[in-house]
Structure 1
Amino acid sequence: MRYKLMAVDIDGTLVDSNGELSNETKKAITLGVEKGLIFTISTGRPIQGVEPLIEQIGLDLPFITYNGAMVIMGESKKILYQQNLSAMHAKSIIELGKKYHTTIIVWVDNQLYVNRIDDRSRKYAEGIRVEPVLMKDIDEIVKNGVTKVLWYDEPDVIERHENEVGQYLSDAINYHTSRPVFLEFVDKNASKAIAMKKLGEHYKISPSEMIAVGDGHNDLSMLEYAGLGVAMANAKEGVKKKADYITLSNDENGVAHAIHKFVLGSTSKA
């Protein structure tokens, strides 16, 4: 099988435990693209949060952002697909978050809004180099739909919220943790798998010709959708069980290993 598209998560997958992209992985990506591979980074982050990677890789790649709510070209910023939460659903998530007294992050048109300026919202904003805007008129902010809502809290609190919120929210809302401190909400028609489907339609590539690589629960949809689902050695056990292949860890250039094995036809390192 010749694989034509590869979607790769960032944290715990593409970058190491220090958040760095290794030269070996960068070289493997370049070699794959030179061979005709469509390499896409698939993340919960907005496009601003992956711009350092765009600069490092130096290629105009498609990016699956907001856990699939937006597919956008990295350099040109051309949007290939977008699926927003409705104003009604976004507001219900925000109001529920207020009741839980959690830090709420809202993304609209790549602009970051927060319910309060605290250590968590500052840390989140600094990590993606975006200035947060304090939410004042929620109805005005959400009126045309919302890309993503995120709750930021302690891991045990987020775990409790994840187990409880389903009883209060519409079935039209997808939610999952992306990191232990993040609970993310998107439209039911926004997922990494759906984003891969849209990219497949754009590039005329079938699911059987796709590889997906990840480590977390928010990666499961794309690992199950792709012809080849690859879990990192450091992935959660539930993710490993769903994968077709387990590569090396993110600190051992697991993505580069997968590219060499399944795209370049060699397990040797570049």
Structure 2
Amino acid sequence: MKYRLIALDVDGTLLNDDYELTAVTKQTLRQLQEAGVKIVLCTGRGPANAVPILEQLEMEGVLITHNGAATIETPGPKLLHQYSFTVDEVTAIVRHCREHQVHFDVCTALDMYVETVGEQEAKMYNKYMVSPEIVTDVLTMSEPIVKLTMFGSEQQMDEAERELARLTLPESLTWIRSGVYFIDVMSKAVSKGNALRALARQWQIEPEAIVAMGNYYNDVDMIRFAGLGIAMMNSPEEVKQAADFVTASNNEDGVHLALLKHVMSN
């Protein structure tokens, strides 16, 4: 088989809009794994709510989590690599969130912390199958963190983007609009593409032997890195333009159809 590694975004790509993994997609991925192809989920999710997706696939292995900030291996999970920073470096962002009632959470490689959880946030965490730990003040945390995520309405996130552009952040940090309702702040070294590149190097797999599939801006660099980059039909135009091919949407088994056409037929 020409391709040795399949890198898959989760939300909006592998899962449909009801956060379901369809039977036909699961069967296709299982067949590829049994044929010796490595399946790597590459997600903005943390391990707590990414590992259950791997378990639904009835697989164990490596996951790229937190948009590339933490690479883990199951069973365990065991931390293989992380790009971390301190809470001191995001003090200005935390204060902005507090002042403007923008919800945020702070993640270490394996755990998530929040200061408050309202009804809307509780629904969101429940949907993503994660239970954050509530703390009084995240700025007193001493553990290295890998991501700060802001969550709110599209309008709130648009305003947060403008505020982030005005703030003087440490040179080591960057941020990305990882979804309509989410902004992730992380180390500048972090990207799904960088994490995938490091993993491929470790496994001695050339980019030409990699397929990467995604649907949002945080997937663009891994789509470009892979020998075969595929965007979902439900992707923004910029993501589609970065890809070699566009498959059907996540609600139309786009992952299954793309693998059938481009991988299993080879």
TM-score interval (norm. to shorter): over 0.9
The 2-side partners of 1:86 and 1:224 are apart by 30
Residue identity (%): 29
User: Hey, what does 2:87 align to over in structure 1?
Assistant: 87
The 1-side partners of 2:252 and 2:128 are apart by 25
Alpha carbons of structure 1 residues 180 and 71: separation in structure 2 relative to 1, 3 Å: same
Answer whether contact 2:113 2:138 (CA < 8 A) is retained: no
The 1-side partners of 2:9 and 2:109 are apart by 22
Where do residues 173-252 of structure 1 align in structure 2 (5 Å cutoff)? 173-252=173-252
Which runs of 4 or more aligned residues in structure 1 lie more than 6 Å from their structure 2 counterparts after TM superposition?
none
CA shift at 1:91, angstroms? 3.0
User: Hey, what does 2:156 align to over in structure 1?
Assistant: 157
**Counterpart secondary structure, 2:155:** helix
The 1-side partners of 2:109 and 2:248 are apart by 36
Answer whether contact 1:173 1:186 (CA < 8 A) is retained: yes
Q: Name the TM-score, length of structure 2 as normaliser.
A: 0.92
CA shift at 1:211, angstroms? 1.3
The 2-side partners of 1:120 and 1:112 are apart by 17
Q: After alignment, is 203-212 or 85-94 more displaced? A: 85-94
Alpha carbons of structure 1 residues 76 and 265: separation in structure 2 relative to 1, 3 Å: farther
Alpha carbons of structure 1 residues 131 and 22: separation in structure 2 relative to 1, 3 Å: closer
Answer whether contact 1:208 1:227 (CA < 8 A) is retained: yes
**Counterpart secondary structure, 1:194:** helix
Question: Where do 5+ consecutive residues of structure 1 fail to align?
Answer: none
Note the alpha carbon deviations across 1:142-170, whole angstroms, 9 max, x for none.
Answer: x2321211111111110221233023123
Note the alpha carbon deviations across 1:21-78, whole angstroms, 9 max, x for none.
Answer: 1111001101111222111111111111123322211111311111111111233312
Answer whether contact 2:106 2:138 (CA < 8 A) is retained: no
User: Hey, what does 1:113 align to over in structure 2?
Assistant: 113
Note the alpha carbon deviations across 1:228-249, whole angstroms, 9 max, x for none.
Answer: 2100111111111111111111
Answer whether contact 2:82 2:109 (CA < 8 A) is retained: no
**Counterpart secondary structure, 2:13:** helix
The 2-side partners of 1:75 and 1:124 are apart by 26
Q: How many residues align?
A: 265
CA shift at 1:122, angstroms? 1.7
- 2:32 corresponds to 1:63: no
Answer whether contact 2:46 2:109 (CA < 8 A) is retained: no
Answer whether contact 1:91 1:138 (CA < 8 A) is retained: no
Alpha carbons of structure 1 residues 131 and 251: separation in structure 2 relative to 1, 3 Å: closer
Alpha carbons of structure 1 residues 21 and 129: separation in structure 2 relative to 1, 3 Å: closer
Answer whether contact 2:70 2:109 (CA < 8 A) is retained: no
Q: After alignment, is 84-93 or 208-217 more displaced? A: 84-93
CA shift at 1:109, angstroms? 4.2
**Counterpart secondary structure, 1:10:** coil
CA shift at 1:89, angstroms? 1.8
Alpha carbons of structure 1 residues 14 and 130: separation in structure 2 relative to 1, 3 Å: closer
Specify the code of the residue in structure 2 equivalent to 1:165.
Answer: L
Alpha carbons of structure 1 residues 74 and 91: separation in structure 2 relative to 1, 3 Å: farther
Q: Name the TM-score, length of structure 1 as normaliser.
A: 0.91
Answer whether contact 2:151 2:181 (CA < 8 A) is retained: yes
Alpha carbons of structure 1 residues 109 and 244: separation in structure 2 relative to 1, 3 Å: closer
Answer whether contact 1:63 1:73 (CA < 8 A) is retained: yes
User: Hey, what does 1:27 align to over in structure 2?
Assistant: 27
CA-atom RMSD, angstroms?
Answer: 1.8
The 1-side partners of 2:109 and 2:237 are apart by 35
Specify the code of the residue in structure 2 equivalent to 1:102.
Answer: V
